[in-house]
Amino acid sequence: MSISAILKSSIAKKWLMALTGLFLCLFLVGHLLGNLQLFIGGWDGTVKFNEYAEFMSSNPIVQTVAWITKILIGVHVVLALLLVINNRSARSTNYKYNRPDKNAKFSSRTMGWMGTLLLVFIVVHLVNFWAPMHYDNEFPVQLNEAGNYYTADGIEQVNSYLQKVEGKQHVFINKVDMGLAMRDLAKVTKDFFSKTENGVTALLMMILYAIAMLAVAFHLSHGFASAFQSLGINHKKYNGMIKLAGMAFSFIVPFVFAAIPVYLYVTQA
């Protein structure tokens, strides 16, 4: 079969959907493990999380994987659109009376809708944190009680001050450039969900994030196990395991994700 014929085929599209979907599941695990550090309180937690954030936004391997993730989200979305257009046209006249609830689960029938909700959330989430971190030259930087700044490698610079070099915030000691300042993503994140810092927006965002994670839960509760079926992995011996793993994954991952904004909102003044 030629490559174009393969890509035209319905089954090939499903493989790609499944493979990109499973890759994005791996991404969720990685993202969640990193975010767990937001549960660590105090100065220690702030330092740990900021060091982690600086590592993630500078390490070339991580950055490559991040771009691959963004591209694969795009592939997943474009394929979904192609599939939906194709599926809609496959039934030009709808039933006057239909009971899809009699033969299929809600989560399986709403993959497109939940996916759309997720895409909107991803954009909102990137605008909230990723975009300012990468493009805002006034992004808050880490400053300890003694009034010292930190360089991005995590070293405290005593008697330091900030100065812009080519628009970026650098740490200086006695007019010597010590390097890029460590940005304070931990504070930004915590303030974002803080009643005093962000007012009613904090509450609305917490609710939005929780709803988005509910969409993740529904999307995964069908998508995870379904990906295996699409790839042709359907075997009496392993079906139970895949189903159980899918259920656990689709419950635990979004639940812990959602717990972070809720925790930050509830525990902060």
Partner 1 sequence: MATIKGMNLTLKIWRQKDANSKGKIETYKVKDISDHMSFLEMMDVLNEQLISENKEPVAFDHDCREGICGSCSLHINGEPHGPDRGVTTCQLHMRKFNSGDTIYIEPFRAKAFPVIKDLVVDRSAFDRIIQSGGFVSVNTSGNTQDANALPIPKADADKAFDAATCIGCGACVASCKNASAMLFVSAKVSQLSLLPQGQVEREERVLNMVSQMDDEGFGNCTNTGACEVECPKGISLENIARMNREFLKATIHKEE
Residues in the interface with partner 1 (CB under 8 A) total 41
Ramachandran angles phi, psi of 260, nearest 5°: -65, -55
Q: Is 92 in the site for partner 1 (CB under 8 A)?
A: yes
Q: Tokens in use for 149?
A: 């700044």
* DSSP codes of every residue in 12-60: HHHHHHHHHHHHHHHHHHHHHHHHGGGGS-HHHHHHHHHHHHHHHHH-H
Which element (helix H / strand E) includes 164? Answer: strand 161-165
Whichever of 97 and 135 has its CB closer to partner 1, that residue is 97
Q: Does 4 bind partner 1 (CB under 8 A)?
A: no
Regarding 81 and contact with partner 1 (CB under 8 A), the answer is: no
Q: Which two tokens stand for residue 264?
A: 């930050």
Question: What are the Cα distances from residue 17, in Å, to 69, 72, 86, 167, 226?
Answer: 14, 10, 15, 41, 10
Residue 90 CA to residue 71 CA, distance in Å, equals: 28
Q: What residue type is 110 in one-letter code?
A: T
Binders of partner 1 among residues 98 to 117 (CB under 8 A) are 98-100, 102-105, 108-109, 111
Closest approach of Cβ 255 to partner 1, in Å?
24
Residues 216-255 that bind partner 1 (CB under 8 A): 222, 226, 229-234
Q: Is 266 in the site for partner 1 (CB under 8 A)?
A: no
Stretch that binds partner 1, among 85-93, 125-133, 137-145, 186-194 (CB under 8 A): 85-93
Q: Is 10 in the site for partner 1 (CB under 8 A)?
A: yes
Under rule CB under 8 A, residue 12 binds partner 1 = yes
Amino acid at 123: V
Q: What is the DSSP string of 218-255?
A: HHHHHHHHHHHHHTT---HHHHHHHHHHHHHHHHHHHH
Report if residue 95 touches partner 1, rule: CB under 8 A.
Answer: yes
Q: Which is closer to partner 1, CB of 79 or CB of 206?
A: 79
Amino acid found at 242: I
Candidate segments 4-12, 152-160, 183-191, 250-258, binder of partner 1 by CB under 8 A: 4-12
Shortest Cβ distance from residue 111 to partner 1 (Å)? 6
> What is the closest distance, in whole angstroms, from the C-beta atom of residue 16 to partner 1 in the complex?
12
Give me the residues that bind partner 1 (CB under 8 A), please: 1, 5-6, 8-15, 83, 86-87, 89-100, 102-105, 108-109, 111, 222, 226, 229-234
